[in-house]
Amino acid sequence: MPSENYLITIIGPTAIGKTALSITLAQHFGCDIISCDSRQFFKEMKIGTAVPNDDELATATHHFIQNKSIFDGYSVGDFEQEALDKLSELFQKNNIQIMVGGSGLYVDAILKGFDDFPDIDGSVRTEINAMFDVLGITYLQEQLQELDSKYYQKLLTQNPQTLQNPQRMKRFVEVCKGTGKPYSSFIGKQKNVRNFTPIIIGLEADREVMYDRINQRVDIMLNEGLIAEVHSLYPNKDLNALQTVGYRELFDYFNEKTTLEFAIGQIKINTRRFAKRQITWFKRTENVSWFDYLTDKKEIIKVIESKIPKK
């Protein structure tokens, strides 16, 4: 039986116009906005993460924007629980709510949830991190191939870029070592129940248009003081929250590894690569109504309203 609650979820690559659409929809439906952009959680990272500006934040009530510190440990699992609790609270006031963001893993956490994994002793993670620091990503790949060859082969054929992702690979190996069972043995065992029906709206643009918008956004960030923001965070450059586009490149500049001009060029290149990965992720999402980013918002509202039964 379908839920009477509806979560309008706006997805798409960075700089495509998700924030503007979410605010229009929040005003139209009289509801709040849940942000699931994993870079915008941190209050120290304002300019480089394109946090909605003060006017935008004042126009609609946002949640999970700059609500954590880079010094806080915060996982996608933590976000899943906190956001679901907040949504349950918000649905009591209005059966329509909005979620927006470009972090595919965090979107999936809310819409579908994750498989249930047992708690693992922290010493296992410490050991894996120490080995990774010495041997690099090859160590993690070899461990996963040995401990869960089935899952390793699946990644190799279906999602090879994940094999190059240290955080994800560490997690796979950690589960294998900490439980003595293959990571794949824990997948798909528990069906997560949600108290809402998702209505997923995707925004897209031609690649050249998207790249031009990204370049423009980086220039705007620089004009707003990105270099000063990153410089203020330089003493904490090794924190996990700061291992992201727009910060790493400028850390290299402050380390005198590159020129400023080169660092800025790399920010634009790496942001475009990030956008391509976002598109790849979101195109795998089912039941998405895709729109060109220039589509009249009234047309998008009509499509959304057609999916919500009239009372």
pLDDT in tens, 244-277: 999 999 999 999 999 999 999 999 999 999 999 9
3-state secondary structure of 167: helix
Residue 290, both tokens: 């895709």
Q: Is the pLDDT of residue 233 over 80?
A: yes
Mean pLDDT of 131-160: 93
Would the annotation count 17 as a binding residue? Answer: yes
Q: What is the pLDDT of residue 187?
A: 80
96 has binding-site annotation: no
For 166-206, where are the alpha helices, taking DSSP H only?
A: 166-179
Averaged pLDDT score across all residues of the chain:
93
Is CATH 3.40.50.300 the right assignment for the domain spanning 6-114+192-306?
yes
- φ/ψ of 307, rounded to 5, equals -95, -5
Tokens of 50: 């394109």
* Averaged pLDDT, 3-15: 94
Rounded percentage of the chain residues whose pLDDT exceeds 70: 98
Q: How many CA atoms, within 13 angstroms, populate the side-chain half-sphere of residue 179?
A: 18
Residue 230 has pLDDT above 60, yes or no: yes
Cα of 200 vs its chain's centroid, Å: 16
- All structural domains of the chain with their residue ranges: 6-114+192-306, 122-186
Give me the pLDDT at residue 1, please.
41
Amino acid in the structure at residue 237: K
Q: What radius of gyration do the chain's Cα atoms show?
A: 20
Q: Is domain 122-186 classified as CATH 1.10.20?
A: yes
Residues 228, 44 contacting (CB under 8 angstroms): no
- DSSP string of 24-84, one letter each residue: HHHHHHT--EEE--TTTTBTT-STTTT---HHHHHHS-EESSS-B-TTS---HHHHHHHHH
Determine how many CB atoms are found less than 10 A away from the CB of residue 150.
10
Q: 276 among the known binding-site residues?
A: no
Residue 13 marked ligand-binding: yes
Q: Phi and psi for 118 in degrees, rounded to 5?
A: -70, 160
Q: Decide: 83 and 64 in contact? Cβ < 8 Å.
A: yes
**How large is the average pLDDT for residues 204-232?**
97
Give Cα separations from 122 to 147, 183, 243 (angstroms). Answer: 19, 17, 22
CA 73 – CA 59 distance, rounded (Å): 30
Is residue 16 annotated as involved in ligand binding?
A: yes
Question: Which is it for the CA torsion 272, 102, 129, 181, positive or negative?
Answer: negative
| pLDDT over 90 (residue 240) | no
Q: Residue range 18-44: average pLDDT?
A: 96
Is 19 annotated for ligand binding? yes
